[in-house]
């Protein structure tokens, strides 16, 4: 199968690319950034392309050359706190970039566009936790709003072109190779700082909960979304709430970290509770999470430990 992965240099994208190649698929990777973990030169079935999804001429040319049957769209601005400071960046990347990619994918003959949305930020603070698909979106950040808007635009593109669209709505993704330098990805940030013996900040009040889902399980959901008979929008999560302070303690045990956390200020746009009810994904795609949090944290810490040695 011919595929194109936008955001191929990123955290989830790099895992997805390797899965696709290992299973014999042809992959065109599209990203404006150099990969943190480049594939060996000459990797069979791999085509690496540099460019911006906002560059319409570049996207059109790339789609026409690749002629993907399935497009996996992961390129995005993913930080809630950045979105609150720079909402224009969110709109440009997460909405305009998504529409640009989808329209040219359809024109190039793609049968399925698998969009990476957000399962937590789009719902804001729902009354029902774990939150199922079908719950009305009420984002409390520009990031969440951009993901809701992108889904609406994608449905319009699908209606106009006939290209099937699926949206994977993951909760908080974690795992090996996550970038520890940004403002998103608390597991990666904690892992690196704990292993180095640095101070670790837990943003107030520390009781905020998130649903942490392992990157390999998210890749599995994306592949299942691509292969399903019909396009669906499904949340992806474990249904289990873990507070930031409980995550800190679990990772401190795994890393041998002995310092107390620094309590930082509350961040605008953060929500107090989030977990997802993924029963629709199980029914539509046969998807269930396979990696429990303790095992996923162990794998993640081991990967960061190898990087630092």
Give the tens place of pLDDT for each residue, 148-167. Answer: 999 999 999 999 999 999 99
Predicted confidence at residue 27, as pLDDT, reads: 99
Q: Residues 208, 273: contact at Cβ < 8 Å?
A: yes
The question of whether 143 is a catalytic residue gets the answer yes
Predicted confidence at residue 39, as pLDDT, reads: 94
Average pLDDT score over the chain? 96
Residue 184 lies in a domain: no
Residue 162 lies in a domain: yes
List phi, psi (to 5°) of 210.
Answer: -140, 160
Residue 65 lies in a domain: yes
151: CATH: 3.40.50.720
Predicted confidence at residue 269, as pLDDT, reads: 78
Residue 219 lies in a domain: yes
Predicted confidence at residue 64, as pLDDT, reads: 99
The token pair at 174 is 């974690």
Pairwise CA distance, residues 259 & 285, whole Å: 43
pLDDT reading at 11 higher than 80: yes
Task: Report how many domains make up the chain.
Answer: 1
Query: Helices marked H in the chain — which ranges?
Result: 11-22, 56-66, 80-85, 87-90, 97-107, 142-161, 186-196, 215-227, 244-255, 279-285, 293-308
DSSP state of 9: T
Task: Tell me the per-residue pLDDT of 63-93, one tens digit each, with 9 for 90 and over.
Answer: 999 999 999 999 999 888 889 999 999 999 9
Residue 189 lies in a domain: no
Pairwise CA distance, residues 247 & 293, whole Å: 9
CB neighbours of residue 132 within 10 Å: 16
Render the burial of 281-302: b for 16+ CB within 10 Å, e for the rest: beebbebebebebeebbebbbe
Residue 218 lies in a domain: yes
Query: Looking at 135, 143, 174, 212, which residue is catalytic?
Result: 143
Question: Where in the sequence is the domain holding 91, given as residue range(s)?
Answer: 2-172+213-239+276-290
Residue 142 lies in a domain: yes
Residue 224 lies in a domain: yes
**Per-residue pLDDT averaged across 227-252, rounded?**
97
């Amino acid at each position: 199968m011919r595929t194109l992965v936008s955001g191929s240099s990123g955290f989830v994208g790099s895992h997805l690319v390797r899965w696709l190649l290992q299973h014999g698929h042809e992959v065109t990777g599209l990203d404006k950034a150099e990969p943190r973990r480049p594939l060996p030169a000459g990797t069979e079935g791999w085509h690496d392309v540099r460019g911006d999804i906002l560059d319409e001429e570049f996207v059109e040319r790339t789609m026409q050359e690749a002629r993907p049957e399935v497009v996996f769209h992961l390129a995005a601005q993913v930080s809630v706190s950045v979105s609150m400071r720079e909402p224009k960046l969110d709109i440009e990347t997460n909405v305009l970039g998504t529409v640009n990619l989808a329209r040219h994918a359809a024109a190039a003959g793609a049968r399925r566009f698998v969009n990476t949305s957000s399962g937590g930020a789009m719902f804001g603070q729902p009354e029902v936790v774990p939150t199922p698909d079908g719950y009305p979106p009420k984002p409390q950040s520009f990031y969440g709003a951009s993901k809701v808007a992108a889904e609406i635009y994608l449905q319009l593109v699908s209606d106009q072109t006939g290209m099937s669209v699926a949206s994977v709505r993951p909760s908080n993704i974690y795992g090996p190779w996550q970038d520890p330098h940004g403002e998103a990805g608390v597991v990666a940030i904690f892992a690196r700082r704990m292993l180095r013996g640095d101070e670790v900040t837990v943003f107030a009040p520390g009781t905020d909960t998130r649903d942490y889902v392992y990157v390999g399980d998210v890749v599995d959901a994306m592949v299942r979304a691509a292969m399903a008979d019909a396009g669906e929008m499904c949340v992806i999560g474990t249904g289990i709430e873990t507070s930031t302070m409980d995550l800190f303690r679990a990772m401190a045990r795994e890393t041998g970290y002995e310092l107390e956390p620094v309590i930082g200020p509350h961040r605008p746009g953060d929500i107090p509770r989030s977990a997802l009810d993924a029963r629709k994904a199980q029914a539509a795609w046969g998807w269930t999470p396979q990696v429990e949090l303790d095992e996923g944290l162990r794998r993640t810490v081991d990967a960061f430990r190898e990087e630092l040695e």
